[in-house]
């Protein structure tokens, strides 16, 4: 799973009447250029073999149909699967946002809040966990998942030593409440509340038996 960093940008210009753009310095236009140009960090700076995601989920330009605001506020996220590239991307992003805004006569303040590191499953431990899970749940109930650009605080453990992170299926077998996480209709099959700790206990027993 990916590292996750939160991005907070404020683009400041000079607001005024929308009918007199020559009298103003439009931060909305500057912010729009930053949003588009920042994608070059993923498409042209990152190794194509290294997954990276840059997304902006909040843009607030609190003007009106005929009013250019003084500033625009943006929030986004940057995610990747490599700590070295993560640090390098931060530098590229800061230079791009601040430099592009300056070139257009505006100012951009960028705050990067570092979140979780990337999560890596240690191959040997993961193979043992998978085999034990198949014994406990049945091979038909254990599925290998592809890498995923969501983030997880368990990643700190995987950076400190061998680790295996797995996901516990909670969907109702009849398809009810099959909505994804972070949605208002998300719900679980409560049978998972028994399956989860049972599996964890079984994995612990198997690991201790192998020592």
Domains and their CATH numbers in the chain: 5-114 (3.30.70.360), 123-209 (1.10.150)
**8 A C-beta contact, residue 73 and residue 9:** yes
CA distance linking residue 190 with residue 142, whole number of Å: 19
Phi-psi region of 179 (alpha: psi -120 to 50; beta: other; left: phi over 0): beta
CA distance linking residue 106 with residue 26, whole number of Å: 8
**8 A C-beta contact, residue 17 and residue 66:** yes
Report helix, strand or coil for 189: coil
Predicted model pTM: 0.86
Phi, psi (degrees; rounded to nearest 5) at 189: -80, 115
Residue 185 has a pLDDT of 82
Q: pLDDT 10s per residue in the chain (211 long)?
A: 999 999 999 999 999 999 999 999 999 999 999 999 999 999 999 999 999 999 999 999 999 999 999 999 999 999 999 999 999 999 999 999 999 999 999 999 999 999 999 999 999 999 999 999 999 999 999 999 999 999 999 999 999 999 999 999 888 877 666 777 788 888 888 889 999 999 999 999 999 998 6
Residue 189 has a pLDDT of 86
């Amino acid at each position: 799973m990916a590292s996750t960093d939160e991005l907070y940008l404020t683009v400041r210009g000079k607001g005024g009447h929308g009918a007199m753009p020559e009298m103003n310095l439009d931060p909305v236009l500057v912010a729009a250029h930053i949003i588009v140009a920042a994608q070059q960090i993923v498409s042209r700076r990152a190794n194509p073999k290294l997954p990276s995601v840059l997304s902006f989920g909040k843009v607030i330009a609190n003007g009106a149909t005929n009013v250019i605001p003084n500033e625009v506020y943006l929030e986004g996220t940057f995610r990747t699967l490599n700590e070295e590239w993560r640090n390098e991307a931060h530098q590229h992003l800061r230079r791009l946002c601040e430099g592009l805004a300056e070139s257009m006569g505006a100012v951009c303040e960028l705050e990067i809040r570092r979140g979780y590191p990337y999560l890596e499953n240690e191959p040997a431990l993961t193979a043992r966990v998978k085999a034990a899970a198949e014994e406990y749940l049945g091979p038909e109930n254990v599925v290998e998942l592809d890498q995923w650009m969501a983030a997880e605080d368990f990643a700190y453990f995987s950076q400190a030593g061998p680790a295996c992170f797995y996901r516990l299926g909670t969907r109702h077998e009849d398809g009810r409440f099959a909505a994804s996480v972070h949605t208002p209709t998300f719900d679980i099959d409560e049978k998972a509340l028994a399956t989860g700790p049972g599996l964890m206990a079984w994995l612990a027993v198997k690991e201790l038996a192998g020592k």
